[in-house]
């Protein structure tokens, strides 16, 4: 028996919005410690990892480990049927081939439940090596989304360069070039508005805009985003999911052609 109840059901909707453009289907691994999802996009350029801790749920029970393969488009359709203040409960029997979503209004006057067929997905799990990243940039998530959107007008790549002075985002294309520099904030009222750079050594990497823009679909989840970079290693873009977990996007860099 698996059951997870989330009073802020809205969070789950936002998680789905954050992954459904990248992934069409994925497996949710449910265990005693919580729910995890890991999947690559179709082109295998990026990897999404979602972690929802058991303690973060208002009620969580998982008797046996369970892998639920879901069509994320269908799941998103179902979650759209819930109101933003609904309490959401996911339920499944052991070895079941369906999962139930139960939406309760805060007043308990309306209760709806939806059942969805599960899929048998054979997905590889990738081991993500522990990396001591050379640069970790924390910045307001809205600012990051804005920069990615603006720069994607210029070209298909964004160069992210992190140095002592700050972080520079640049793009170049047919219409011209664009550069956005952010310096570390000196005084802050709110922690989440700050740009904080933790740098061991300067790093410059190139990434495809298309993916960065899809990652920023997670902006509503958290006011802050963290970007971790290391030479010749995928970028990590991480957003907190309220108090209950986090979503990480790994994006393979674009590397000069000399080695191919």
Partner 1 sequence: MVKNVKKASAAVIGSLHQFTEDEVVTVRQKLLTWYDANHRVLPWRTIAATEPDRSKRAYAVWVSEIMLQQTQVSTVVSYFVKWMAKWPTVEDLARATLEEVNQVWAGLGYYSRARRLHEGAVKHLPGIGRYSGSAIASIALGCGVGVVDGNVNRVFARVRGIGADITLQSTTEHMWTLANQLVDSDRPGDFNQAMMEFGATVCTPKNPSCNSCPLSVHCVSHHRSGDQQERASITNHFKKRKMPSESSAVPDIECLPECALCLRKEDWDSSLGVQNYPRKAQKTQSRQKASAVVVLQGLLANLWEFPSIALTDGDSHQEKEVTEQLINQVYKILLDDQKGLTWPSRYQGGQWMTRKEFVTSATSTAMKKVLKAVEVSEEKNKNEKKMGLVEKSPDTKKQKTISQFFTAAPKKK
Residues that bind partner 1 in the complex, under the rule CB under 8 A: 29, 40, 42-47, 65, 124-129, 156-157, 206, 208, 210, 233-234, 250-257, 260
- Nearer to partner 1 among residue 109 and residue 232 (C-beta): 232
Please choose, from the candidates 21, 12, 13, 62, the residue with its C-alpha nearest in 3D space to the C-alpha of residue 39: 21
Residues 6+ apart with CB under 8 A from 31: 62, 65, 66
CB of 243 to partner 1, least distance (A): 25
Is residue 57 within 8 Å of 4, Cβ to Cβ? yes
- Nearer to partner 1 among residue 44 and residue 164 (C-beta): 44
For strand 111-117 and strand 135-140, is the pairing parallel, antiparallel, or unpaired?
Answer: unpaired
Dihedrals phi, psi of 151, to nearest 5 degrees = -70, -25
Separation CA 47–CA 249 (nearest Å): 6
Instruction: Look up tokens 């070209």; give the residue.
Output: 155
CB of 231 to partner 1, least distance (A): 12
CB of 47 to partner 1, least distance (A): 5
Q: How many CA atoms lie within 13 A of 157 on its CB side?
A: 14
Is residue 215 within 8 Å of 237, Cβ to Cβ? yes
Instruction: Look up tokens 């990497």; give the residue.
Output: 205
- Nearer to partner 1 among residue 125 and residue 181 (C-beta): 125
- Nearer to partner 1 among residue 140 and residue 234 (C-beta): 234
CB of 131 to partner 1, least distance (A): 10
- Nearer to partner 1 among residue 33 and residue 105 (C-beta): 33
CB of 82 to partner 1, least distance (A): 30
């Amino acid at each position: 028996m698996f059951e997870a109840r989330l009073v802020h059901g809205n969070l789950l909707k936002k998680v789905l919005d954050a992954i459904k453009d990248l992934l069409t289907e994925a497996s949710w691994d449910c265990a005693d410690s919580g729910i995890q999802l890991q999947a690559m996009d179709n082109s295998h350029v990026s990897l999404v990892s979602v972690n929802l801790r058991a303690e973060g749920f208002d009620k969580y029970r998982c008797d046996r480990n369970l892998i639920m393969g879901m069509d994320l488009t269908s799941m998103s359709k179902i979650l759209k049927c819930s109101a933003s203040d609904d309490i959401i409960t996911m339920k499944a029997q052991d070895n079941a081939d369906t999962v139930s979503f139960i939406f309760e209004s805060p007043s308990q006057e309306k209760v709806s439940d939806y059942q969805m067929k599960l899929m048998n997905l054979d997905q590889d799990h990738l081991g993500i090596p522990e990396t001591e990243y050379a640069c970790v940039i924390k910045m307001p998530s809205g600012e990051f989304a804005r920069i990615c959107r603006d720069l994607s007008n210029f070209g298909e790549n964004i160069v992210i360069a992190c140095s002592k002075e700050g972080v520079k985002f640049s793009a170049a294309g047919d219409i011209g070039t664009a550069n956005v520099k952010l310096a570390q904030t000196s005084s802050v009222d709110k922690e989440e508005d700050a740009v904080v750079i933790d740098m061991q050594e300067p790093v410059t990497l190139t990434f495809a805009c298309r993916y960065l823009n899809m990652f920023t679909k997670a902006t509503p989840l958290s006011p802050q985003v963290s970007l971790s970079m290391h030479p010749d290693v995928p970028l990590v873009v991480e957003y907190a999911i309220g108090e209950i977990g986090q979503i990480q996007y790994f994006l393979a860099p674009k590397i000069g052609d000399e080695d191919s």
